[in-house]
Amino acid sequence: MKIQSEQYQISKVQQDQRKLFVYWDDGHRSTFHYIWLRDNCYCSVCGDPRHGEKRFRIIDVPLDIKPLSVSCDSGNTLEIVWEPDSHKSIYNAQWLRQHCYSATEREHRQHRPILWDSNIVTNLPQIDYEEVQSADKSRLQLLEHLRDYGICFLRNVPPQKGELESFAQSFGPLLETNYGRVFEIVVDPEESQKSVANSQIDLIPHTDDAYQYAPPGIIFFHCLMANNDSSGQSTFVDGFKIAEVLRQEDGDAFDLLCRYEVSYQKYYSDRIDMRFSSPVFSLDSGGNLQEVRISNLFPAPLDLPEEAIEPFYIAYRKLMQLYTDPRYCLKQGLQPGELVMFNNHRVLHGRTAIGIQNQRRHLRYCSVDRDYFESWRRLLDRNLNFQE
Ligand SMILES: [Fe+2]
């Protein structure tokens, strides 16, 4: 059996009418409601213990269910026999501790992203491509960079067509978008009628496809060719950083951007009319940032209550001042053999203008859902950091 390096032991348990109190050897006390414990029985009657699939239904027991007996002989397992049918549940102590829902443990489990600004240029999250291909440890590091910074650069990637697809597919299926599965970002006056990415103009930092219900998750840019001047540099902004700056500097503006939806649209009369509205910042119930959606490239008219229009524009202008401020912008001229991956639900990307005489730049673009990256990170973490 795999054992996590940090082991907790149960010192004693106490009961009241509705809850069980578990005292741990490190002094922590957990409270588990009986209804929660009964709901989380993973025996073979209640479900499939291997995959956590459930057959038990919460409406099949009373809300005030109680134990007939509770025992915790070794400190490593807790055994409960339930009223009225003597159903027996066994809980592993480590599992219980990992799922303790006290305020301190929930806070402890909360992931804290590493916020960054333009200074990240001196300490970029980056990894050698060959290492990621050959060692799970490096692959895990890449996934942790994506989780912590929302971005990671890969060096020494063969600058050939096909490399991007095979690498991206090693994480999960490529997303099919209205640009296809792989999009060639080159200067092309004809294609620029369909996408600003194929134009030469500078692109304000944005998250992609804000007009979609589910925008792409992790975006890949693979550079095959670069301009031989400093034009057409890629720009990146940490959306979580500017959100926290705004929250600190102007809480009212931040609240407005969490509360009201901005509308987006992508429209070509002959083939597409996509629309979506969403707040700029999405938070979880604890006020932690979950998602950022910012695009000045595909706006639709704001559709807000009359009294919100002026305050909202004040907040929206402050937001734009932040994400166009060079202090928060990482500027990188990608070179052939470089690949960058970033979380489109956190990191904004853009581009400086491309010179008239200089149109060699060729990036290839694709994306994969975020779920696959989080899934791989958990699997690799478990395989590498838990011992037999
Ligand atoms: Fe874009």
How far, in Å, from the CA of 369 to the mean position of ligand 1?
16
Report how far residue 350's alpha carbon sits from residue 208's, in angstroms, rounded to the nearest whole number: 10
Distance in Å, CA 209 to ligand 1 centroid: 8
Long-range contacts of 72-81 (CB under 8 A, 24+ apart): 72/10, 72/12, 72/13, 75/9, 75/10, 75/11, 75/25, 76/9, 76/10, 78/10, 78/13, 78/22, 80/20, 80/37
Q: Can you give the pLDDT of all 388 residues of the chain as single tens digits?
A: 334 556 899 999 999 999 999 999 999 999 999 999 999 999 999 998 788 789 999 999 999 999 999 999 888 999 999 999 999 999 999 999 999 999 999 999 999 999 999 999 999 999 999 999 999 999 999 999 999 999 999 999 999 999 999 999 999 999 998 778 999 888 777 777 667 777 788 899 999 999 999 999 999 999 998 887 878 899 999 999 999 999 999 999 999 999 999 999 998 877 889 999 999 999 999 999 999 999 999 999 999 999 999 999 999 999 999 999 999 999 999 999 999 999 999 999 999 888 777 778 899 999 999 999 999 999 999 999 874 4
Distance 220 CA to ligand 1 centre (A): 11
The alpha carbon of 365 and the centre of ligand 1 are apart by a number of angstroms equal to 10
Task: Please tell me the distance between residue 196's alpha carbon and the centre of ligand 1 in angstroms.
Answer: 8
Where does CATH 3.30.2020.30 sit in the chain?
Answer: 10-107
What does the DSSP 8-state code read for residue 261? P
Distance 85 CA to ligand 1 centre (A): 59
Q: How many angstroms separate the first and last alpha carbons of the chain?
A: 6
State how far the alpha carbon of 280 is from the alpha carbons of 255, 266, 321, in Å: 10, 17, 14
CATH-assigned architecture of domain 118-382: 4-Layer Sandwich (3.60)
Give the per-residue pLDDT at 351: 93
Look at residue 341 in the predicted model and tell me its pLDDT.
98
> Ligand 1: distance of its center to the CA of 29 in Å?
48
CA 88 to ligand 1 centroid distance, Å: 55
285 residue type, one letter: S
For residue 151, report the distance from its CA to the centre of ligand 1, in Å.
15
Two tokens, residue 81? 């026999």
Task: State the DSSP string of 327-387.
Answer: GGEEEE---TT-EEEEETTTEEEEEPPPPTT----EEEEEEE-HHHHHHHHHHHHHHHHSB
Ligand 1 centroid to 340 CA: how many Å? Answer: 13
Distance CA 138, CA 155 (A): 13
Distance 359 CA to ligand 1 centre (A): 18
Residues of the chain with CATH 3.60.130.10: 118-382
| Whether the Cβ atoms of residue 210 and residue 325 lie closer than 8 Å to each other | no
| C-alpha 280 – ligand 1 centre gap (Å) | 17
Task: Give the Å distance between the CA of 372 and the centre of ligand 1.
Answer: 21
Structural element, H or E, at residue 311: helix 306-323
3-state helix, strand, coil in the chain (%, to 5): 30, 30, 40
Q: Residue count of the chain, please give it.
A: 388
Compute, in angstroms, the gap from residue 265 CA to the centroid of ligand 1.
14
Residue 2 is predicted with a pLDDT of 37
Ligand 1 midpoint to CA 197 (Å): 7
Ligand 1 centroid to 28 CA: how many Å?
A: 47
Burial of 213 (0-12, 13-18, 19+ CB in 10 A): exposed
pLDDT at 1: 35
d(CA 185, ligand 1 centre) in Å: 10
Cross-strand bridge partners of residue 278: 262
Amino acid found at 313: Y
Question: The CATH number of 10-107 is which of 3.30.70.260, 3.30.2020.30, 3.40.50.970, 3.40.50.620?
Answer: 3.30.2020.30
Q: How far is the CA of 69 from the centre of ligand 1 (A)?
A: 60
Residue 130 burial (10 A CB sphere; 0-12, 13-18, 19+): middle
d(CA 324, ligand 1 centre) in Å = 15
Cα of 320 from ligand 1 centre, angstroms: 16
> CB–CB of 339/153 below 8 Å?
yes
- Cα(206) to centroid of ligand 1, in Å? 6
From residue 82, alpha-carbon distances to 52, 54, 59, 210 in Å are: 20, 18, 15, 50
Q: How far apart are CA 64 and CA 57, in angstroms?
A: 15
Q: Are 346 and 236 in contact (CB under 8 A)?
A: no
pTM of the model: 0.92
At residue 104, the pLDDT reads 96
- Give the 3-state secondary structure of residue 314: helix
